[in-house]
Amino acid sequence: MFRTSFWRHFDFWLLGAVIVALVFGVTMIRSAIAGNENLAELVPRQMIYGGIGFAIILIVSAIDYRFWSGAILPMYFVIVVALGLLFVVGLTSFGATRWIQAGLINIQPTELAKIVVILALANYFSRQMAAPRNWSWLAKSLVIAGGIIVLIYIQPNLSNVIVTTVIWTAMVWVSGLPVKYVLIIGSVVVVLAFVAFFLKIGDFQIMQDYQRDRIINFFVDDQTVSYGATYNVRQALIALGSGGWFGKGYGLGTQTQLRFMKVRHNDFIFSVIGEELGLVGALFVLLLLGFIVYRCLRTARMARDPFGALIAFGVGVLIFFQGAVNVAVNLKLIPVTGVPLPFISYGGSGLVSLMLGIGLVESVALRHKPLDF
């Protein structure tokens, strides 16, 4: 398994891009903490998470990705149990219960759940290649994703519900969903979104108050508000706008170093990059993430079978969508969400889960079929 000829198909370009993104992220986190002693430990922690993730890439890539097809049920069961444990022993922060404390670290099962959803859907669609694309076929796939989506929603964690739903939508579409079904589902989603926003009967409501407020604040920006999500987005826009072409210099961004922005090491690290490294630095990040997504989609095209192709495609969609959402929030193109910038933002569970996804893509690449050209 570890012979030299085996590793010659390893996608070193993909691994190299991920390592560059990780090192760049650690560097920007160091600047983003802005000398805050309470956040100083984030830098070595992110380096440790990155080292663990690197080991996971090598280990998972060495395992034949087809092995996971036979392990879907136990993996799905474990992640459902982990998500259920959040409501028993989970830690609550910012009004949501999302972390399980394990010794000195906090584990966020939702991040791993997204990888499990990709594997479970890839397994289902690859086994149903000859099945008619009807409502039954569609409903079964929705049940697979829905079991996890519901548990994520009641944390509450609407942002990751959207991410997981997008993964399901992309994978069901690439598996051959007829266009008429796409239009019907799109219409239903729009209707449900309006119902979720306005429905409130007594204490019962689908959308939490803070989630509704984020949407309202997005459309109605009260310039007198000096706190909350609106304020933070405004500071992010100031940071991005003041960066110019080449930025104010590493560690010299005023909005960052004077700590006007909150969660600048996580949700708003793109604004830190824009302020200190300018448009050039921001474009570098976008191109880097775009290249990682491209290598995932390239692996999907080269895959030996539909299962491998869907795994690589699903991971690519996950990285692309999370990156797009994070950048859009920083540019105030969409309401504020808690979606980090892949490989760049601080976050142990999120980083390790993404690198697990990269390991799966590398496993597919190692066992690819020859290209036709």
What is residue 181's predicted lDDT score, i.e. its pLDDT? 83
Confidence at residue 182, expressed as pLDDT on a 0 to 100 scale: 81
The domain in which residue 253 lies consists of 4-366
Q: Flag whether 96 is in a domain.
A: yes
Provide the pLDDT confidence category of residue 228 given band limits of 50, 70 and 90.
low
Q: What is the pLDDT of residue 261?
A: 82
The answer on pLDDT for 206 being more than 80 is: no
The pLDDT of residue 183 is 86
Beta-sheet strands, E only, within the chain: 90-93, 96-102, 105-107, 200-201, 204-205
Q: Tell me the mean pLDDT in the region 346-364.
A: 93
Model confidence at 185, in pLDDT bands (50, 70, 90)?
confident
pLDDT digits (tens, 9 = 90+) for 27-82: 999 999 888 888 888 999 999 999 999 999 999 999 999 999 999 999 999 999 88
Percent of the chain's residues with pLDDT above 70: 86
**Sorting pLDDT into bands at 50, 70 and 90, what band is 301?**
very high
pLDDT for position 22: 96
In tens, the pLDDT along 328-345 reads: 999 988 888 888 999 999
Q: Using the predicted structure, report yes or no on whether residue 300 has a pLDDT greater than 50.
A: yes
Model confidence at 4, pLDDT cuts 50, 70, 90, reads low
Residue range 124-149: mean pLDDT, rounded: 92
Q: Is 92 a member of any domain? A: yes
- Both ends of the chain: CA-CA distance in Å? 27
- 331 Cβ contact partners less than 8 Å away, ≥ 6 residues apart: 237, 240
The C-alpha atoms of residue 200 and residue 208 are separated, in whole angstroms, by 10
CB 278 within 8 A of CB 247: yes
Predicted local confidence at residue 359, as pLDDT:
96
pLDDT in the model for residue 137: 92
**What is the residue-averaged pLDDT of the chain?**
86
| 264 and 34 Cβ atoms separated by less than 8 Å | yes
Q: What is the pLDDT of residue 308?
A: 95
Q: Residue 235's pLDDT is what?
A: 87
Q: Is 371 a member of any domain?
A: no
How are beta strands 90-93 and 96-102 bridged, if at all?
antiparallel
Per-residue pLDDT reduced to its tens digit, 95-104: 555 666 665 5
Query: Whole-angstrom Cα distance, residue 155 to residue 185?
Result: 25
For the stretch 239-270, pLDDT in tens is 888 888 999 999 898 888 888 888 888 889 99
Tokens of 129: 């290649």
358 domain-assigned: yes
3-state secondary structure of 244: coil
Type and span of the H or E element at 197: helix 179-198
In 3D space, the residue among 154, 171, 172, 153 whose CA is nearest the CA of residue 162 turns out to be: 153
Confidence of residue 349 (pLDDT cuts 50, 70, 90): confident
Instruction: Look at residue 193 in the predicted model and tell me its pLDDT.
Output: 75
Q: How far apart (Å, rounded) are the C-alpha atoms in residues 181 and 186?
A: 8
Residue 372 lies in a domain: no
How many folded domains does the chain comprise? 1
With the C-alpha atoms ordered 151, 201, 213, 168, is the resulting torsion angle positive or negative? positive
Would residue 373 count as lying in a domain? Answer: no
- Whether 75 maps to a domain, the answer reads yes
Nearest to 275 by CA among 326, 232, 241: 241
Q: Is a pLDDT exceeding 80 seen at residue 221?
A: no
Note whether residue 337 is domain-resident: yes
Looking at residue 373, its pLDDT comes to 37
pLDDT at position 372, please? 44
